[in-house]
Structure 1
Amino acid sequence: MIQSLPRVRTYFGLLAALLVLCMLASARLGAVVLTWAEIGGFAAEALGLGTPSTDGLATLHRDVFFQIRLPRVVLCALVGAALSASGTLMQALFRNPIVEPGLIGTSAGAALGAAAVFVLGSKVQGLSSTVVASVVLPGAAFLGALAATWLVYRLSAAQGRVTVATMLLAGIAVNALATGGTGCFSYFARDPQARSITFWSLGSFSSADWSGVYLVGAALALGVGLSLQLTKGLNALQLGENEAQYLGVNVRRLQTRVLLLNTLLVAVATSLVGVIGFVGLLVPHLLRLLGFSDNRRLLLGACLLGGALLVVADAVARTVIAPAELPIGVLTAFVGAPVFLWMLARHHRPGQRGGFYA
């Protein structure tokens, strides 16, 4: 168990080092393989400690690194952090280690909102593609995610309490409804729009750029910053809603704020890179198995570990079938689904309880 402050610092130092190493290793890989010396030289140039080479090949590699590879790797880390933080919030809110945004319709709702923009956005007069990509698409994804999450939460509330079993059943229904709506948009869309919806729903970082990095970075900073203020209430909530209220926690307000922050994190990430499942489910669970229990430490640790894992997953996705690229949502599903089934079996096995209680 993680208890002492020196041990906490050691764990966070290791997680931060892991994230940096994964980002550097991933930045080397791709159609153009960069050497460590080249990456070091590019970093020195960016810091003003070196002189840019005028060689044609070096210039090409520099452009690949700064315009393609680096924004992709940074966006992977930010999206992984956002999804992991979201999963941490939802598991703490529902006091269950097998809850993630995808299970309660948040991701599917965001996908439905984004699909509506893909099909209907071009028909709205005065909207340029830049405005749609930077403003309308994240806004529609946020509204879709918020509506789906709110619907599941309302359906799962019985006599003022949230029933986890009912929540999962409601999540299945809302997921099916949102997926059906996305399918309808795909059916009525023209070929370019349908392809955009299909590839987007599988998840990909192929369109990563610096504007996306800034958007997700701002949402992550805002979401995690506000979430850290709620961790004390979430810690008290683990004792039960009545006990948390006795300790002075406004449970209804806490639930509303957590759902809004969860929706912000998931919607912004989903609107840019598509649906990526199981990251928010696995990362908090792995950290609990390592002894993280305080939600404040768990939230920060999840951001670091989630970023590292998604960077590694993206590196595998774009190299395992090179020169083609495997959608990252497919890869995370292949890995995450078996682990989720193991967690589900472990959670309900007599005499054993999941990582949430570790």
Structure 2
Amino acid sequence: MFKFTPASLITIAILGFSQLAFIPATLAKENLSQQTSTIQITRYQNDADLIKHTFESQLYTLNANTAGHYGLRMFRQTLDPKYSAAVWSDMARVASTLNEIATEIKTPKQAKAYGEKKLQYYKTKGTTRTQMRYEVTKDKPEYLFLGIDLLGAMARADEYGLKHKYDKHLHNLIRQFDFKPYATNPEMIKAWAAQLANQVYWLRQLDEQDVVDDFINAFQKTYPDNQDKQLSDQQYTNKIYGLTHIIFAASEYYQYPIDSKEFAWIYDYFDKNIEQILTRTKEDVVAEVGISYLLAEKLDSPTLADTQATIAHAIDMKQGMIPSTDGDFELSKGEHRNVLAIMLLSWQGTNAAPTISEQPAIFSDLPYGLVKK
């Protein structure tokens, strides 16, 4: 009886079951031919182009935040100036956030009140994840001010080679809080793993408190690998998101390559548990796992191949995108998973861009409040 190998299954996923009869017998072996590699690359590029067409033909019908999220990632992949307007939208978002904070927040008490307003969003939503976030954050609402808004906006400005004109005041606000209790609290990690990974790296990037190692140690204790089977799918997904975001944040979001040796414990885990990851998590998580390998230039990894084949298979060819798990094709809700799919299927390397020094045209008209560093 013929037995499909992992390599042959990947080939089938790429070519489609309708073409199975035409696959040479050698392609069912572990060592795929160069012809198969070429077919894989071509097919994946076509898939990525299909999703790109879907989103870019309607990009500016999306809100500024969503368009900015997409445009920045595509600029960092391609350095194509056609994404400049979307990058400017992201820059305007950053400026708006920092302008509001610089104007209205002077004290820890005001920071807490700011967070309490944001907390109302989480109180009214009914998902398991959102309710977890509400419960763990309701007695520390300043986290929503500090972690979600202030650090993210300041770090993005810094990546652009910019700062806010009241940068000194904003740094002083950061120093009003000790971030370590947030980053090492197991219940916070269970609710905010990916966000905390981002935030501890942003703090380091901004030359503020360095709690990266503290967070990673606490994360490993919160999610020991031998307890995976005891986790709900929601908590397992949170764990994998946390792992991918440690790598993403270390790369400053696709700007710098990753030394795989530094994060060998993460890659070893992915390699050993890829079947569980594919089974228990959603497409955006799967794509993030694959991109983690691309950032480390682990291009021959079977784990990377598994994620690419899975994501390519998830695309609805008629709609030109990957739908949500409940079959929704709304662009604004699907942008995150689909831009990740584009990156996974047509990776073009890391670029520390855009910056005001290297791409000055994008920054010729800075939003109010932002200045060159």
- The normalised TM-score by structure 2 is 0.28
- The normalised TM-score by structure 1 is 0.29
> More helix by proportion, 1 or 2?
1
